[in-house]
Structure 1
């Protein structure tokens, strides 16, 4: 049995900050709350006997920090491997803009379709089929490897496509939110015959 844990990075905005849509071109560090979330992730994995044997993260600072802090908290002695496909999507003209400005440009319906159906709004630079293919390729690599517990740290725009691993993305999105909150995770189990979601949007 293989266990794939897909975690979203921790918070990058503090209580007094104005949140923006942070994508591929905006490389923010974690704030203190985000660092706490990363440590909580690691402690949770340790408590669940899910100490990672392999760890992947995007090149972005927020995912690298989350992965490193989680590893320290759970006592895993492995290095973080960087995968480019895990980099957050590029929000195009909406990159690093406030949600108010984004809604003013693309409208609430486009936001709803992104949140519920993973339909990419006009101007955003993302190819859903390519992202899904990358998830499937990673899963195939995991199944061939001798490591059984794998942690992936990425961002929301990429993580939302991971349920393609179940073989029925459309059914998943109709029955679940595609979003992972900051510091939350999804857990997939591979038994050699199927890939199933055992948890989604769990925040330690």
Structure 2
């Protein structure tokens, strides 16, 4: 069965920081692919698989067991966010040993977040932006009624412009960090509430 994909073509002129299996780290990237796979996905070559699905050239590739057709979007002051939210195996980051099975930890990321910021950020601000994304995600999950910080293998990608003055901060009280936080919070909250509604509907069948 062919699964869905979300492909965001940025083109040249963008720098990204990501935890994704393909194109992770910091560097110039031109696209982000968020590919849906079966919850029992067992390929041992995810990087090669994502390269096969991508458009070629430098990019970021993520896998998710969430249904990408139910992705959510939000924007704030020029920041744009796309999120896919699946909460089949929620967990606390500091869960005690054995609380999350090794199998669950190997599953494709189920909360994937892509953020586009129309200005340049220095490396430290990029790292700070990832922290801001994670904090806003956790706030949204708790507000949606999920006692967790996420799932065991969530992924994030923050894209910023290569050219222009570099913003020095990406924390939630900085100008651009605050916009990132609000947009991520909205997208993840909508995604979590939507996932809850679909899960409840399935349970009633």
If the length of structure 2 is used for normalisation, what is the TM-score? 0.26
More helix by share: 1
- Name which structure has the greater RCO, CA cutoff 8 Å, separation 6+: 1
If the length of structure 1 is used for normalisation, what is the TM-score? 0.26
